[in-house]
């Protein structure tokens, strides 16, 4: 017996934007598909809030815009639209021509990892972010342990990887001349396991 598979409905970017303006939920757009964004866990949302708060406090009165979650980003080379967890742009932010709600020139991007999105954030999403000429740093922030992966642009097709593990670590955001202690980034976060006993997946068994 042959089972017919339902075709995935695709949209043009213009159709997506028209729908998104009216939507009560946020949706990303990739290769013609509209992908709904699910709500985050309490840890996810608290880490997000801590990150934005620390950046805002450190960068007060400096020429940067700091956005969290609800600000749409356009990736021209992929004609994709995403909502980074944290995004920093120069002030004023540059907008997509003809739009007042979509920025195009981030300097720093960060995603708080979730089990359902971690692989995508590390691979396809990072590959798309790397096509944005203005992006200088990308951060992947774990929510189940104090652990941050930092990628710093060194040149065309060249990125430096630095990992930060443990509440005693300090994250240096080089493109903004900012330092963030992981103890502050993870303030009030309750981990299911003892952070001192966690071994990252990258480190093996």
Q: What is the mean pLDDT of residues 43-56?
A: 96
- Asked if residue 50 is part of any domain, the answer here is yes
> Is the pLDDT at 55 greater than 80, yes or no?
yes
Evaluate whether residue 17 is within a structural domain: no
Q: Answer yes or no: is pLDDT of 198 > 60.
A: no
pLDDT of residue 10: 92
- The answer to whether residue 33 sits within a structural domain is no
Q: Where are the beta strands (DSSP E) in the chain?
A: 27-30, 33-36, 64-68, 72-75, 80-82, 86-90, 102-103, 108-112, 137-141, 147-155, 158-165, 170-173, 178-181
Q: What is the model's pLDDT at position 193?
A: 65
Going by pLDDT thresholds of 50, 70 and 90, the confidence category of residue 196 is low
User: Does the pLDDT value for residue 199 go beyond 70?
Assistant: no
Q: Kindly compute the dihedral angle of the four CA atoms of residues 183, 184, 186, 190, in this order, to the nearest 10 degrees.
A: 80
Buried b / exposed e across 75-89, counting CB within 10 Å, b at 16+?
A: beebebbbbbbbbbb
Do the domain assignments include residue 127? Answer: yes
Dihedrals phi, psi of 18, to nearest 5 degrees: -65, -40
Task: Tally the domains of the chain.
Answer: 1
Token couple for 6: 């339902």
Q: What is the CATH number of the domain that holds 88?
A: 3.90.1570.10
Q: How far apart are CA 181 and CA 194, in angstroms?
A: 18
């Amino acid at each position: 017996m042959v089972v017919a598979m339902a075709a995935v409905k695709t949209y043009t970017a213009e159709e997506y934007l028209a729908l998104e303006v009216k939507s009560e939920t946020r949706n990303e757009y990739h290769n013609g598909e509209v992908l709904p964004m699910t709500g985050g866990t309490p840890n996810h949302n608290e880490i997000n809030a801590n990150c934005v708060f620390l950046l805002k406090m450190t960068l007060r009165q400096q020429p940067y815009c700091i956005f969290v979650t609800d600000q749409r980003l356009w990736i021209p080379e992929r004609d994709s639209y995403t909502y980074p967890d944290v995004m920093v742009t120069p002030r004023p932010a540059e907008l997509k021509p003809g739009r007042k709600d979509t920025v195009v020139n981030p300097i720093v991007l960060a995603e708080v990892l979730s089990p359902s999105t971690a692989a995508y954030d590390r691979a396809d999403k990072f590959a798309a972010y790397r096509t944005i000429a203005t992006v200088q740093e990308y951060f992947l922030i774990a929510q189940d342990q104090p652990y941050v992966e930092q990628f710093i642009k060194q040149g065309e097709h060249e990125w430096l990887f630095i990992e930060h593990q443990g509440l005693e670590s300090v994250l240096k955001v080089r493109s903004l001349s900012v330092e963030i202690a992981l103890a502050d980034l993870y303030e009030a976060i309750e981990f299911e396991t003892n952070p001192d006993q966690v071994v990252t997946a990258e480190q093996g068994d």
